[in-house]
Amino acid sequence: MADSAGRRPRVQGASGSRPEPGAGSLCDADPVKIIGLGLDATEISRIAAALERYGDRFLRRIYTEGEIAYCRRKHDPSPSLAARFAAKEAAMKALGTGASRGVYWTGIEVVRHHGPPHLEFHGGAARRCEQLGATRALVTLTHARDLAIAHVMLVAD
């Protein structure tokens, strides 16, 4: 993007410039090793249709009791369910397993008490994290109109 004079904004750290050490740049943060990345987009209407057609059977197959309880508190649970579905898919991609090799839908749980959501891994998903050397999972969820998107990053501190 250019300003009204046609100049492009200068971003510190871009085009060969480097921030001074200790200048508060992201480079000053403690290093982490990225173990795996996953991104998924899920249609909210698809989750709503599965919920309508299969009801509790669908919920119990995909979600933990905590996730079900959290989403049922919402006026319309479908966007929150879709975001959690996308997070589970993204986590499976980050783990490199898909829904196989002992990693089950309910083995990946999106937990949100206060503040941002976080992931908890159980069973085969927890074992896979350990095999990969992942010490933390970062998750971002969003939904708008008919799309829920989740991004998961597995890291080692």
Which candidate, 78, 63, 71, 79, places its Cα nearest to that of 120? 63
Domain count, the chain: 1
Query: What are 80-135's pLDDT values in tens digits?
Result: 999 999 999 999 999 999 888 789 999 999 999 889 999 999 999 999 999 999 99
Does a structural domain hold residue 137? Answer: yes
In a domain, 9, yes or no: no
The pTM of this model reads 0.81
What is the tens place of the pLDDT at every residue in 68-91? Answer: 999 999 999 999 999 999 999 999
Q: Considering the domain boundaries, does residue 4 fall inside one?
A: no
The answer to whether residue 5 is domain-embedded is: no
Rounded CA-CA distance 151/16 in Å is: 29
pLDDT of residue 99: 80
Please report which helix (H) or strand (E) contains residue 12, including its range: none
Domain hosting 65: range is 32-156
Q: For residue 100, what is the domain's CATH number?
A: 3.90.470.20
Q: Which residues are annotated as catalytic?
A: 93, 143
pLDDT tier for residue 35 given thresholds of 50, 70 and 90: very high
CB 79 within 8 A of CB 145: no
